[in-house]
Amino acid sequence: MKVKYLLTMILALTIFAVAAKDLKTANDLIGTWKYTVSNVPPEYETGVMTFEEKDNKTTGYLGQQERMEMKELTVDQGKVTFKLDFQGGILTVTMTQDGDKLSGTIVSQDGEFPITAVKEPAK
C-alpha cells in the first residue's frame, strides 16, 4: 500500500513539474526583445519586439513608435510563430525560445532571413 501511495505521489509531482515548466516558458516570453535580422537592408536589421499578456492571451508587436501587430501569434513548447503585414506582403516568422534568446527565420516573398533576439532585463 505504501509503495502504491509513493508511486502515485511521484507521478503527481512529475505532472505538476512538467505543467509548471510549460507555464514558465510562456511567461518568460513576456517582455521586450531586441532583434537582429541578417541579409536585409540596414534599416531593417535591428529593432524591438514586445510580447504582452492581455485577457489571458499572449499578444505581440514589432517596433516601438510604429508598432506592427503580430497576427496569428502562437506560443507552444518554446516555439513562437506569427505573421506581419509588411509593405504589401506577409512575413512569416518562426522562432525557438531558449531562455532569454530567440532564434529562427523570417520568410517573405524575397526569401528566407535568419533572425535572433535577446530579452531585455525587466525594468
pLDDT by residue for the chain (123 residues), tens only, comes to 555 544 454 544 444 444 444 444 456 899 999 999 999 999 989 999 999 998 889 999 998 888 899 999 999 999 999 999 988 899 999 999 999 999 999 999 989 999 999 999 887
Cross-strand partners of 111:
108
The total number of residues shown for the chain amounts to 123
Q: Are strands 71-76 and 68-69 parallel, antiparallel or unpaired?
A: unpaired
Nearest to 25 by CA among 81, 62, 76, 95: 76
- Residues 112 and 97: their CA atoms lie apart, in Å, by 19
Residue pair 117/109 in contact (Cβ under 8 Å)? The answer is no
Please report the domains of the chain, with CATH numbers, ordered by start residue: 2-119 (2.40.128.120)
pTM for the structure as a whole: 0.75
